[in-house]
Amino acid sequence: MSGLEISSSKNLLLFTGRAYPELAEEVAEELGVTSVPTSAYEFANGEIFVRFEESVRGCDAFVLQSHTAPINTWVMEQLLMVDALKRASAKRITVVMPFYPYARQDKKHRGREPISARLISDLFLTAGADRLMTVDLHTAQIQGFFDGPVDHLFALPLLADHVEAKWGGDDNDGLVVVSPDAGRVRVAERWTDRLGCGLAIIHKRRDPNVPNEVKVGEVVGQVAGKTCILVDDMIDTGGTITKAADLLFENGAAEVIVTATHGVLSGPAM
């Protein structure tokens, strides 16, 4: 018989960038593995170098990176890791990005603007990623930007269980889920289905020429005397959430609880 007969086997390897290695350590502990030793550093001019210290040929690679500030540095590092794996003959490369970078720029509001969320998916596809794994995308349609499988995970079960245990009652009648803007209504509806409580919506307006600045309108729904659960995917500068909370108290809310998956907390947020 010509050729070699090789039994098929999967070899899961976990790779992590430098943004938040503590998360990778917790994931590795849950899986019962250790992350692959990696040499990563920056040259004097800021260019990033990455090299894996052991063979990755034929492996099922999971590349985990937290996209904190400086976000562009960590995006580039993860892209280089994916490229290195592809050139080292990894069998399959899954990019794990809990926070999808540039997710807010998922469409053009005016002319001569980029669709940056699409560019991010194109970059990872070109680098060699076979699959993306992320948590609570800013908008669900971003899944369609990547030409391959996307695992879109939700933090709602964990957050809703915590809210119900701490502030819920027999029928959660004292709770109302509040969407801080029109874009989060679908997410807020999923919360109401889970908690079995009412829904309110805050009508929000932004100045398209001023980033990170919010003008809040009015509350649609009954919030007086209720414990309001403000749900959002991320908190960046905190402008949306704080102004929404102020408006809810002005409309008679008894208490305001904020839940968010991605606590970016830039600038004045803290």
Residues with catalytic roles: 204
Q: 156-167 and 185-195 are packed helices; what angle lies between their axes, rounded to 10 degrees? A: 50
> Residue 181: which of 163, 196, 208, 200 has the closest Cα?
200
* Rounded Cα distance, 262 and 28, in Å: 21
Q: At 214, which amino acid appears?
A: V
The closest of 215, 213, 221 to 248, measured between CA atoms, is 221
Closest by CA to 234, choosing from 137, 107, 152, 106, is 137
Q: Measured between alpha carbons, how far is residue 35 from residues 15, 17, 58, 80 in Å?
A: 5, 10, 16, 17
Give the residue carrying structure tokens 């194109």: 122
The pairing of beta strand 150-153 with beta strand 131-135? parallel
Alpha-carbon torsion (16, 17, 21, 27), positive or negative = negative
